[in-house]
């Protein structure tokens, strides 16, 4: 059979070969692993992100657990408890933090979180009210917080609300310069947009330079969930260099949080103590479902 090797590496990457087949691309000490998938007579270059011994986009989705406490001591208690219970990735929701407007308090929490998260990925999120969160901040305040987080040396990923920024690509580059991954996101708590709109949103965030793209929507009927999964799967197949995270919220969308390994979503969110979004399941229960899908796929 004739197979075409796809070599659309991100800018600055070059290819490495193993026995004549592209095995990974490198840029300095960064590496994009290749997972060969023979479909439509193509070999896809699938980006797998590795940090702290964790793999993002490496098959089984990572379960990310939100930390939503208001006070510093409670944030640290939750983080320590969740990590002790097996959380591989935490999301610190700063929009719930009573000290959001105080850089000194944010830095203090990050300093204490860093040793706790030595082997656990730390995603930080400032969810604005426009995107369904609690933060009533200006664009400048949002950008200043992003840079504080990026420069802290404690954070692995930052959720960047792409469509709340006038120059998102510039902010993304500044974050990446600190060796922090930019997860560009869009949340629609009112509806599920048309398939074409969802794919356009994902592609626009990707063109902005995102390391990962995230889309969360609210279904009104079961067919909305199917449209979100279709948009996710198509983006996953056509944009192999950019990992995707997606979810359909609420009870109707619960299934979307469990089938990422099938449709391409590489991170899913679940609660250990208080849900951060409608329909978010209990982390321990979701881990069991993911284990089931993983075992069935290996048969």
CATH topology of domain 54-298: TIM Barrel (3.20.20)
Mean per-residue pLDDT of the chain: 85
Q: What angle do CA 292, 45, 196 make, to 5 degrees?
A: 80
- The pair of structure tokens assigned to 120 is 């656990």
Active-site residue (options: 31, 104, 111, 214): 214
CA dihedral (286, 87, 246, 221) positive or negative: positive
Active-site annotation holds for 214: yes
Q: Is position 187 annotated as part of the catalytic site?
A: yes
- Give the pLDDT score at 40: 41
Task: Pick the most confident of 19-28, 168-177, 254-263.
Answer: 168-177
Report the pLDDT value the prediction gives residue 46, as an integer from 0 to 100: 80
Model confidence, pTM: 0.82
pLDDT at residue 279, rounded to an integer: 64
Q: Using one digit for the tens of pLDDT, what is the confidence trace for 89-101?
A: 999 999 999 999 9
Mean pLDDT to the nearest integer, 8-30? 38
How do residues 126-185 score in pLDDT, each as one tens digit?
999 999 999 999 999 999 999 999 999 999 999 999 999 999 999 999 999 999 999 999
Q: Which is catalytic among the residues 187, 251, 288, 295?
A: 187
**Domain layout of the chain by residue ranges:** 4-46, 54-298
Question: 103-116 vs 139-150: helix axis angle to the nearest 10?
Answer: 40
Give residue 47's pLDDT: 87
């Amino acid at each position: 059979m004739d197979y075409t090797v796809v070599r659309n590496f991100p800018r600055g990457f070059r290819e490495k070969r193993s026995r004549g087949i592209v095995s990974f691309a490198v840029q300095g000490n960064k590496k994009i692993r290749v997972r060969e998938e023979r479909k439509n007579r193509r070999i896809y270059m699938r980006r797998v992100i590795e940090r702290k011994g964790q793999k993002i986009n490496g098959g089984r989705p990572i379960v990310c657990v939100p930390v939503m406490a208001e006070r510093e001591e409670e944030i640290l208690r939750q983080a320590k408890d969740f990590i002790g219970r097996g959380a591989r990735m935490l999301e610190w929701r700063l929009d719930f933090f009573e000290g959001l407007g105080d850089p000194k308090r944010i830095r203090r929490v990050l300093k204490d979180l860093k040793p706790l998260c030595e082997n656990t990925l730390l995603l930080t999120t400032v969810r604005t009210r426009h995107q369904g969160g609690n933060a009533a901040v200006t664009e400048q305040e949002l950008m200043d917080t992003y840079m504080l987080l990026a420069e802290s040396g404690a954070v692995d990923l930052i959720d960047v609300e792409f469509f709340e920024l006038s120059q998102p690509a510039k902010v993304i580059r500044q974050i990446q310069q600190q060796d922090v991954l930019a997860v560009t996101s869009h949340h629609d708590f009112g509806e599920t947009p048309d398939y074409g709109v969802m794919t356009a949103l994902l592609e626009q965030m990707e063109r902005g330079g995102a390391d990962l793209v995230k889309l969360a929507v609210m279904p009104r009927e079961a067919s909305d969930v199917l449209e979100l999964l279709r948009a996710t799967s198509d983006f996953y197949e056509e944009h192999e260099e950019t990992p995707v995270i997606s979810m359909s919220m609420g009870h109707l969308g619960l299934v979307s949080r469990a089938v990422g390994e099938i449709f391409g979503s590489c991170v899913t969110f679940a609660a250990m103590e208080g849900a951060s979004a409608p329909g978010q399941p209990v982390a321990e229960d979701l881990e069991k479902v993911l284990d089931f899908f993983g075992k069935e796929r290996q048969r």
